[in-house]
Structure 1
Amino acid sequence: MEISGFKKSSLQKKEKDDLFHVIHKVPSGHGPYVRAKHAQLVEKDPEASIVWFWKAINAGDRVDSALKDMAVVMKQLDRTEEAIEAIKSFRGRCPRNSQESLDNVLIDLYKKCGKVDEQIVLLKHKLKLIYLGEAFNGKPTKTARSHGKKFQVSIKQETSRILGNLAWAYMQKSNFMAAEVVYRKAQMIDPDANKALNLCHCLIKQARYDDANLVLQNVLQYKLPGSDDFKSRNRAEELSLELDAAKQKGSVPFLSNLSGLSFEDDFVEALERVMNEWAPTRSRRLPIFEEIAQFRNQLAC
């Protein structure tokens, strides 16, 4: 059966359009969201894309995707504060299953503009969602994307990642004791070289050189995942030199205390139960939580 010239032309046009959408990663259609993505990815006009993203949000056209994509473009243009306000204002229009990804965008924006306290609050909230079984929309894994590749992330890996980000936020506040406590929790669940090196840095700042050296040796001796990474090797060597110099100088420990943790009772209980599911314990309570409890008792006296 022969295909008429008109039908053949239509099929070729459709194939060409489909190939265009695949190459440029632009969704098909004609609505404001598609126009926004075309301006962003094809025309390379971020300002125009923001105008169209706003139109998509106001028109109810893929609001969650438009809001997230617009925030990313605004971040690239150093309009981070505006992006934060947009997400806070319009996330109520987005479906429940998109709230977790909006939190991730918001945390990234907070990090960009140095809103550390806001990061900490949101990261604690995400840990509570894991405890309540509401993370990943109740599923044991989720599909994530990095550098164009998709991969599966488990709740266990996500918990360790969030703890690592929480510890990093405490480091930005120069609260190295608080950061140490949280890094140790993260390492108990899913250890890796990057978190170990950050933990080593926290211990050096507290002038706990023997403890720092023990942690550092785990990386130098390739005992942790990621120890063979080029950046990890370089940073390990830098920390080794910093540790030797600090020992020779006899540096005074950086003043820090657990008060910066601000762990509410319900947060501590939630996090303890989450961790006990994956981390081996020698007693009913993890030593880290005993440390927090002792600190609370000291404050009460």
Structure 2
Amino acid sequence: MEASCRKKEDDGFHVLHKVPSGDGPYVKAKHTQLVEKDPEGAIVWFWKAINGGDRVDSALKDMAVVMKQLDRTEEAIEAIKSFRCLCSKHAQRSLDNLLIDLYKKCGRFDEQIVLLKQKLRMIYKGEAFNGKSTKTARSHGKKFQVSVQQETSKILGNLGWAYMQKSNFMAAEVVYKKAQMIDPDANKACNLGICLIKQARYKDAQLILIDIVSGRIPGAEDTKACVRAHELLTELETWRQPPLGPPENVPGLDLDDDFVNGLENLINEWAPYKSKRLPIFEEIEKYRDQLAC
């Protein structure tokens, strides 16, 4: 009876603190992280778990997250690169997602762009979501369904943001337009407006920003995006800076391989009535013609 009560208490403790049961190094790492609130000590135990082959998939991912929280981002990146070979095939996509987030935090945008494009290629080759049209995601303890279209738009939004950080606003514009054709939302529309402003295309930017504040773009109820759009409209008249010259190339768009054509076919399948040839690809052709002149 006493042993049974003790087991129930232990089970309740593990559920309450979300700590797995057992006494291996991974369990000790989670206990140190979640119960003792000692992230540095948890990292030591995560290393022991990885080196000892104890739940390596979870140990590596959890350790990278803790390192990120401690601003040890570069160390987390190197850990994933060095030890992902010990992880299962199933864990590789989540490790890529972690790397994308880590690259973003430490400003390694070229590497972030490479991984984002890799994820897009997987989608249009039908390799994402294990060939299904939706997947189950989790946020703040709640589960919800994400469609392939939503995931593609999200990845394109992240790709556009990365180009913006490199001041390649023409490339960012093209990518944000793709995202809006698939799954429009106010936040990405706001960033698209910024890209147009940076190219001194004020009238085009104004029209998009007005659509946001007027509620004509999905997600306009997002207070942050709506407030930002209002601010940009107010500041627009003072942003009469000279247009930026076009970059020598659009890095990462791979205009000469199958990347653009594959994505165009995918978007046309999802939105067949919006355009026979998507305007964004007409923009690409126009840009290439400009470079040729």
State the partner residue of 2:261: 269
Q: 1:281 to 1:296 in 2, by over 3 A?
A: farther
State the partner residue of 2:82: 89
State the partner residue of 1:73: 66
Could you tell me which amino acid in structure 1 is paired with residue 283 of structure 2?
E
Could you tell me which amino acid in structure 1 is paired with residue 208 of structure 2?
V
- Tell me the distance in 2 between the aligned counterparts of 1:174 and 1:191: 23
CA contact (8 A) 1:167 1:182 kept: yes
Question: After the TM superposition, which residues 40-59 of structure 1 pair with which residues of structure 2 at under 5 Å, given as runs?
Answer: 40-59=33-52
Cα displacement string for residues 97-140 of structure 1 (whole angstroms, at most 9, x for unaligned residues): 22111111000100111001011111000000111111123332
CA contact (8 A) 1:176 1:206 kept: yes
Could you tell me which amino acid in structure 1 is paired with residue 4 of structure 2?
L
State the partner residue of 2:241: 251
State the partner residue of 2:271: 279
SS in 2 for 1:259: coil
Could you tell me which amino acid in structure 1 is paired with residue 6 of structure 2?
K
Q: Percentage identity across aligned positions?
A: 70
Correspondence for 2:215 among 200, 203, 222: 222
Q: CA deviation at 1:297?
A: 5.5
How well do the aligned residues superpose, as a CA RMSD in angstroms? 1.8
Q: 1:282 to 1:230 in 2, by over 3 A?
A: closer
For the pair shown, the structure with the greater C-alpha radius of gyration is 1
Question: After the TM superposition, which residues 5-154 of structure 1 pair with which residues of structure 2 at under 5 Å, given as runs?
Answer: 8-154=1-147
Q: CA deviation at 1:229?
A: 2.1
Q: 1:117 to 1:50 in 2, by over 3 A?
A: same
User: Normalised by the size of structure 2, how large is the TM-score?
Assistant: 0.93
- Tell me the distance in 2 between the aligned counterparts of 1:277 and 1:148: 33
State the partner residue of 2:196: 203
2:188 equivalent to 1:188: no
Q: CA deviation at 1:231?
A: 1.2
Identify the range of structure 1 (161-170 vs 81-90) with the bigger mean alpha-carbon deviation: 81-90
Q: 1:91 to 1:138 in 2, by over 3 A?
A: farther
SS in 2 for 1:260: coil
State the partner residue of 1:288: 280
State the partner residue of 1:165: 158
Q: 1:283 to 1:53 in 2, by over 3 A?
A: same
- Tell me the distance in 1 between the aligned counterparts of 2:246 and 2:270: 29
Cα displacement string for residues 14-43 of structure 1 (whole angstroms, at most 9, x for unaligned residues): 221122111111111221111111111111
Q: CA deviation at 1:227?
A: 1.0
Could you tell me which amino acid in structure 2 is paired with residue 267 of structure 1?
F
CA contact (8 A) 2:200 2:241 kept: yes
Q: 1:258 to 1:273 in 2, by over 3 A?
A: farther
Unaligned runs of 5+ in 1: 1-7
Q: CA deviation at 1:282?
A: 6.1
Cα displacement string for residues 185-235 of structure 1 (whole angstroms, at most 9, x for unaligned residues): 000000011001111111111111111111111111112222122212221
Q: 1:283 to 1:217 in 2, by over 3 A?
A: closer
SS in 2 for 1:11: helix
CA contact (8 A) 2:135 2:147 kept: yes
- Tell me the distance in 1 between the aligned counterparts of 2:17 and 2:146: 27
- Tell me the distance in 2 between the aligned counterparts of 1:148 and 1:278: 30
Could you tell me which amino acid in structure 2 is paired with residue 274 of structure 1?
L
Q: CA deviation at 1:142?
A: 1.8
